Structure 1
Amino acid sequence: MEQQCKLLLYLDSRRYLHDMKTNCVDFLEQLTDKTICKFPPLRFLLEVDIMDLLDVFPEVGELLIREPNKVQNMCNDILYACLQAIDLEIKNRIEYAQVAVTLRLKGVPRLFKSNPHQYNGLVTIDGLLISYSKPESYVYHSVWSCPEECEGSEVILHYIPKHPPKCFVCKSVLFENSGLRRCGEQVTATFKLPDQLLLKRFHITDDLFPKLELGLRYILHVVVTKKNTIVWSLEKVIPLPAPITSPIPKDVEDLFKACKGIPWKFIYCLASSIGVNICPLNCFMHLKINLLLSLTSIKANAITGASIVHVLAGGFDTRYVAEIMAEAAKLADRHVILGTVNSLASTALISSSGGVCMLPLPLHIYHQKQVSSLLSAIETGDINTGTGQAKLKSAVWAQGMDFKKMILFNVASVFGNVCRGDCGEYYDEIVDFMMQQAVEPVGIGKEEIQALKDVAKYIDLVAGIEVDLDDATENLLRSYFLAARKENTRSVSVGSMSALIAICLTSARLCRRKVANIDDAVFAIWLHVSGSPEPRFAPEEYLQTPADVRKLQKIINSFKDWLEQFTSTLL
């Protein structure tokens, strides 16, 4: 009784009690002699802030977390008491079962952990929304009457029982007045829970399912009973940018100072830590750099809405490109590998929201419908699920051998940017690397693992930086795009411009700058020219990836001289 009084005081102090009385008055004023015989339900939606309740009355807040059904019954008692306190005679004809409070929670602390083998109290579930069904009806108010017409034998239930109840007077089996049934709508939502292979399905009622959006993380507050799981409320998980005062990993900070913030030096060195046990250090650097930029763009898209950099690697079908992609995908929050059979592209894209959807096999091996769905999602930014559309929130990593043999010949134009995969130029280095690994096998050491952790942490720190283009950078990108289109329209599609801008902005973001400069534009153009089909615009010696950063600086300087002549722009 003491806790119920405290709950009553809390509802009164937060004006909930006043809203209950107003709702009861409106309900009674609408009743007539004809409608009251139909036992109409009275529902009140009560949204409680748990943190506020714990601050005012900690005992009641803890009781709500520990025994939510008990607090639910207290709220029903309070609502019925408000109804009985109104000075109208018709109130006496309203039964207790007709009154119910729909309790919704917000600000639920995540300090407690529920035992998955013993669900007691309020249970918190964190999951990624994969899909939800079309709305279907459910019964929340049913009236059962006695066939012998016993007086006062009507039974009001908030569900359809498995076996009909019996009359408490004559013990006859009651029948349902189907005309008095009240129904709502609900959807069956499918969630992917972390560290669990099997999906979980929950019924989301009509006042909650408008909040659902495919591909987003939600915190569900549920009450588990013997027969079903009831979702009381759900909250959307919104990623926030890291504070400015967040410490940067020491090795990354030292590397940034040593490279003096120059993008091609710093990003080149960061990307070299990917796949160190798969291939030599300076091999496939174009691919590694594009993967690092893509990982950064994914996090930036979740926080600031920045454009996502997709990766399409062109070259021969070897295992190295797929293994490097798989190694880099571990740095993302989640990644999904699309199979060739029994796999829907839309499901894979939604499941990988906030991460990477990877195609380890060449594109021409996949079914045409899968490739079409992927290209449509990349081009439009929307995923067609059959029941609706969802926003694309993941990066697509793919590789292809010969685009001319594919039915979708414009696949490269959809991605916008093609990075250089395995074209056979690292054959000698890879053979020596494999021989050395065969003689002296070297596993993944602590330093390599720590380096990848530092890169992942650094990406999280810089993802929230919003970057703009200055006029000089924009003019350089535009001049290169127009000149390249005149040179070869097939290798430089319309989508290449958006890819160039996205890479340029991501490069500045990795260097912790809010404005992209000429160096970022030169770096983006260098990556674009390197991935162009042969014969490429620039001389081959300007597109190499040496193991020495000093040699890389000389290559970029020579590339700048060529770019000035190609675009007729002074850098």
Structure 2
Amino acid sequence: MDLQYKLLLYLDKRRVLTAMANSCESFLDECLDKGTNKFPPLRHLLEIDVMDLFNVFPELGDFLIQEPLQFQHICNKILFACINSIDSENKNNVQLMQVATNLRLKCVPQFLSNEKQPYYGGIMLKKGLLLDISKPNSYVFHTVWSCPEACEGNEVILQFIPKTPPKCYVCRSVLFENSGLRRCGEKVTATFISNDEFLPRKYFIVDDLISKLNVGNMYNLYVVVLKNNKSVWSVEESVILPAPITYPIPEDIEQLFETCEGVPWKFIYCLASTIGVRVCPLHCFMHVKISLLLSLVSVKANLLLGSSIINILVTGHETKYVLEIMSAATKFTNRSVYLGPHTSVQLSMIGGSGGICILPLSLYRSNQKQLSFILKTLETNKINIENSEIQLKCAVWALSNESKKIPFNNLSSVFDIVCRDCGQDYDDIAEFLLKNSLERQKKSKNEVTAINNLMAYINLIAGVHVSLDKSAENLLKSYFLSARRESSKVATIGSIGAFVTVSLTSARLCRRSVATIDDALFAIWLHVCGSPQPRFAPEEYLQTPPSIHELEQNMTKFKDWLEQFTGINFT
């Protein structure tokens, strides 16, 4: 059977022909006034379920994927035939070039699209993050060209604007465009960036597809290559679904969790040591590594659940190794963007959506305009673009030295975790660097397995819904009020939100649906460690030692101090 007949049967079976006929009847009813409404366009929105099409007529589905323009041409002729089948005088004034079907594809199997083909080969799949949308402007549905000699019935309709005017078929005169009969639609220029391509690409998005676009979201674009440009037929938002709670976790991590007896700071301490193993020794910069791990999980959870994101500020005189650790930690996320002093802050934060935006230089080296925009964005959790706002969907990792430009309490009010005094363990780091310079260490199989397991574990637990139990809530409230009485500069208004976010993320890392008092204790300890001196708690309780046994002793002493500070008994 011919493909045209198969397509006609398929459209009739799915009752699409009835919808086409209804559109044609409405179109002909609007064509009553021939003088003012001459040659109006008819655009019928035709949605094709590609999986269903393959199920009914496999060869027709393959024809759509490989030859989409011919498939659309057949649909246009079917739509024009629907007009001619209607008993109306107005149909005699309608030409084939006035009607067209806008094909919108859904349920397209990705393995069937020509995603990696470097040249035109049917429908191609393009994936990208939407960076920017231009203001709407018009594009041509069709143009009408008339003969200057007024030859009868010699008006030509073209679905484009030709480079040279056509000629009359009768007198061979050069036709002129009747601009009053030009029909236009609406389009925008959308800029997308993909992980597979270095430079962003721009596509024209038209009519009904414009409403689907939101800056900062990931999209699948089904593109058909024309002679001079690319036509986007369908736009689908790429949505990642959370893994079920019953999905098995890596065996090594499960054994580690049992060894740590489910205690959050023990378990997270061991997991964080996997980050940056080739940058510094395992036990160095553990406070920074723990903070980075919590931030990575919060970004994934925001992508799946819309929960809050943990932003990090690292202060100190030695930030070189911290930046390298941050760069190593970006392997566990979908994307990362580095914000330089001459880079657009808006595009960088939008481009980092679903990932990390890193400030490689000190925060105070940014100009005043950049710095104020960064702080405002973190405080409001919104990115201002022209006359609108979009949600911030990336975590900001910043470095800073002490400066008198902005008081430290202002920074601690917008960053959820502050890591101080990062210049430490110089002897161990020097020995580590000397060893690597003398003998290049090869990446072992165990190291690769540990990184892959941690990456898989973060993806699995990011979709866990977590709530705060009453005991944890009471502890956070009591500490916040007690700290505010001591110093309102240390415990800012934004701190209470950071306490809750860190507590929930700690429970999520332990794969629990309820954040307990241990998670709240861990969040408070991280906050006190990042507070400016003089601190509330004794300094020896706030160190991140190289041994987990020493950390347990410090946490036990810190718990005793916190009981006295807040008046809450942990037992």
TM-score for the superposition, normalised by structure 2: 0.96
Q: Secondary structure at the match of 1:369?
A: helix
Q: Using the alignment, how far apart are the partners of 1:440 and 1:227 within structure 2?
A: 55
Deviation at 1:253, TM superposition (A): 1.4
Structure 1 CA distance for aligned equivalents of residues 512 and 447 of structure 2:
27
State whether residues 319 and 399 of structure 2, in contact with CA within 8 Å, keep that contact through their aligned partners in structure 1. Answer: no
Q: Which deviates further from its counterpart, 232-241 or 443-452?
A: 443-452
- One-letter code of the match for 1:244? I
Alignment partners' CA distance in 1, 2:228 and 2:276 = 49
Distance 1:100 1:555, change over 3 A: same
Do the aligned partners of residues 226 and 33 (structure 1) sit closer, same or farther apart at CA in structure 2, a change above 3 Å counting?
A: closer
Aligned to 2:353: 353
Show the counterpart of 2:376. Answer: 376
* Equivalent in the alignment of 2:7: 7
Question: C-alpha separation between the residues in 2 aligned to 1:165 and 1:175?
Answer: 8
Q: Residues 416 and 497 of structure 1 are in contact (CA less than 8 Å); yes or no, is this contact kept in structure 2?
A: no
Residue in 1 that maps onto 2:38: 38
Pair 1:45–1:92, CA change in 2 (3 A)? same
CA distance 1:438–1:125, change in 2 (3 Å): closer
**2:466 alignment counterpart:** 467
Displacement after TM superposition at 1:421 (Å): 4.6
Alpha-carbon distance in 1 for matches of 2:5, 2:408: 69
Kindly state the Cα deviation for residue 377 of structure 1 after the two structures are TM-superposed.
Answer: 1.5
Q: Distance in 2 between matches of 1:42 and 1:433?
A: 71
Q: Distance in 2 between matches of 1:439 and 1:92?
A: 87
State the match for 2:165 in structure 1.
164
Distance 1:184 1:421, change over 3 A: farther
CA distance in 2, matches of 1:439, 1:2: 72
Quote the Cα distance in structure 2 between the aligned partners of 1:295 and 1:433: 26
Q: Secondary structure at the match of 1:134?
A: coil
1:37, distance to aligned residue in structure 2 (A): 6.6
Q: Name 2:452's counterpart in structure 1.
A: 453
Question: What amino acid is aligned across from residue 283 of structure 1 in structure 2?
Answer: C
User: Which residue number corresponds to residue 94 of structure 1?
Assistant: 94
Question: What is the Cα deviation at residue 408 of structure 1?
Answer: 8.8
Whether contact under 8 Å (1:481, 1:497) holds in the other structure is yes
| 2:43 match: secondary structure | strand
> Hey, what does 2:137 align to over in structure 1?
136
- Judging changes above 3 Å, is the alpha-carbon distance between structure 1 residues 496 and 115 closer, same or farther for their aligned structure 2 residues? closer
Letter in 2 for 1:555: N
> Could you give the per-residue CA deviations for residues 291-342 of structure 1, whole angstroms, max 9, x where no partner exists?
000000000001011100011112114311111111112211100011112x
Does residue 66 in structure 1 map to residue 66 in structure 2?
yes
Measure the CA separation in 2 of the matches of 1:504 and 1:403: 30
Letter in 2 for 1:224: V
Q: Quick one: distance in 1 between partners of 2:200 and 2:556?
A: 53
Q: Where in structure 2 are the equivalents of 1:241-320 lying within 5 Å?
A: 241-320=242-321
Letter of the structure 1 residue corresponding to residue 473 of structure 2: E
The AA in structure 2 aligned to 1:521 is A
Question: What secondary structure sits across from 1:78 in the alignment?
Answer: helix
1:148-183 residue CA offsets vs partner (Å, 9 max, x unmatched): 111121111112111111111111111110001111
- What TM-score comes out, normalization by structure 1 length? 0.96
1:390 CA displacement: 2.0
Q: 1:45·1:104 contact (CA, 8 Å) conserved in 2? A: yes
Aligned partner letter, 2:219: Y
Indicate the residue corresponding to 2:229 in structure 1.
228
Secondary structure of residue in 2 paired with 1:220 = strand
Query: Do the aligned residues in 1 keep the contact of 2:31 with 2:38 (CA within 8 Å)?
Result: no
Say whether 1:121 aligns with 2:122.
Answer: yes
Measured in 2, the distance between the counterparts of 1:35 and 1:446 equals 78
Q: AA paired with 1:318?
A: T
Residue identity matched to 1:356:
I
Shift of 1:10: 1.7
Quote how far apart the aligned CAs of 1:11 are: 1.5
SS at match of 1:208: helix
What pairs up with 1:518-537 in 2 under 5 angstroms? 518-537=517-536
Tell me how far 1:278 sits from its aligned partner.
2.0
Q: Distance in 2 between matches of 1:37 and 1:262?
A: 75
**Cα offset for 1:443?**
4.4
Number of matched pairs: 569
Asked if the contact 1:282/1:547 (under 8 Å) is kept, the reply is yes
Cα distance, 1:344–1:213 mapped onto 2, change above 3 Å: same
| Structure 2 unaligned blocks of 5 or more | none
Cα-to-partner distance string for 1:477-497 (whole Å, 9 max, x where unaligned): 111111111111112211111
Can you list the C-alpha shifts for 1:357-391, whole angstroms capped at 9, x where unaligned?
A: 00121101112222222212111121112253221
Range with bigger deviation, 222-231 or 379-388: 379-388
How many Å separate the matches in 2 of 1:118 and 1:213? 29
1:321 corresponds to 2:327: no
Asked if the contact 1:277–1:443 (Cα under 8 Å) also holds between the matched residues in 2, the reply is: no
Tell me, yes or no, if the aligned pair for 1:317 and 1:400 is still in contact at 8 Å: no
Q: Deviations over 1:28-68 (max 9, x none)?
A: 12222534871111221111111111112212111111111
Q: Alpha carbons of 1:380 and 1:61: their partners in 2 closer, same or farther (altered >3 Å)? A: same
Secondary structure of the equivalent of 2:38? coil
**1:347-496 matched pairs, under 5 angstroms:** 347-386=347-386, 388-406=388-406, 410-422=410-422, 424-496=423-495
- For 1:463, the aligned partner's letter is A
Q: Is the 8 A contact 1:133 1:387 kept in 2?
A: no
Partners of 1:334 and 1:352 within 8 A in 2: yes
Residue 485 of structure 1 aligns to a residue whose secondary structure is helix
After TM superposition, give the deviation of residue 512 of structure 1 in Å: 0.4
Per the alignment, in what secondary structure is the counterpart of residue 405 of structure 1? coil
1:523 Cα deviation (Å)?
0.7
Alignment correspondent of 1:506: 505
Aligned-partner Cα distance in 2 for 1:523–1:364 = 30
Q: CA deviation at 1:115?
A: 4.5
Alignment RMSD (CA, Å): 1.7
Matched, 1:49 2:46: no
